[in-house]
Structure 1
Amino acid sequence: MSEDRTLFGDGRYPDSGPLAVLARMGFIGAGVAIVIAVFMPAELVPDFARSKYLQHFAAFYVAQLLGLAAMPRARLRGVVSGYMVFATVLEASHLLSGAQLEPLIDNWVADIGGIWAAAAPVVVERFRRRFPRSRPR
């Protein structure tokens, strides 16, 4: 019996496969981009959404997806927790420069929302796998 090595099959995908490598590169790139955006002057950060909260949400949503793809063997709880700590440290770092707490909390909530929105489909899929498939009659 041959092992299914296709992208969307149930078989094992090689660690050195092009998509696995691309996921790791995207993971690092997203982290670096978020850190740069946080410490850049606000007027230099490009607006890619109508709301800065939507930008926070989208940035952490994409970063979380890339993190999950880059670390397929890591526990979901660990990846989510890591990104939550990352978001908390980044938002708290603004306090050192004298920023007001209220907008930082709003930004942090948007960050956490993006993280959990990306993790939710994984949780739902794991729940669905607990139910046996019905057999055709």
Structure 2
Amino acid sequence: MTEDRTLFGDGRYPDAGPFAVLARLSLIGAALAIVIAKFLPSELVPDFVRSPNLQHFAAFYVLALCALAALPRVRLRNVAFGVGLFATALEALHLLAGAPLEPLVDNWVADLGGLAAAIAPVIVERFRRRFPPRAR
């Protein structure tokens, strides 16, 4: 029997497969985009949505999804902790630079909300797999 090495099969996917490499590159790209957007003057950052909180939510939702895809062998809690620590460090850097506290807290909560929204379906799916299918 041959091993299933397709993208959507149940077999192993090679570490150097094109989608594995693309996942790692997307993680680096998403993290860099967030850092650049965070430290650019607000006039230079395009508004993708009307709310800055929604932008933070979306950015960290995408970053968390990229991290989940790029780091398949890392424990889920470690991926969540790393992304959460990244969000905290970025907001803390702005706080140390003298930015007002209230919008930074709102941004941080939106960052963590995006992280939670990306990770919640994985947790639910893991919970669902614990229940065997009913006999017919």
Shorter chain as normaliser: what TM range? over 0.9
Instruction: Find runs of 4+ consecutive structure 1 residues off by over 2 angstroms.
Output: none
Q: CA RMSD in A?
A: 0.8
Seq. identity, %: 71
TM-score normalised according to structure 1 size: 0.96
Partner of 1:65: 65
SS of the residue corresponding to residue 8 of structure 2 reads: coil
Counterpart for residue 26 of structure 2: 26
Alignment of 1:78-117 (within 5 A): 78-117=78-117
In 2, Cα distance between the equivalents of 1:96 and 1:41? 17
Distance in 2, matches of 1:38 and 1:96, equals 14
Q: Residue in 1 aligned with 2:39? A: 39
Q: Does 1:77 align with 2:77?
A: yes
Shift, 1:24, TM fit: 0.3
Gaps of 5+ in 1: none
Deviation of 1:96 after TM superposition, in Å, equals: 2.0
Which consecutive unaligned segments of at least 5 residues does structure 2 have? none
> What's the TM-score once normalised by structure 2's chain length?
0.97
Secondary structure at the counterpart of residue 27 of structure 2: helix
Deviations for 1:53-98, whole angstroms, at most 9, x for unmatched residues?
0000000000000000000000000000001110001001111221
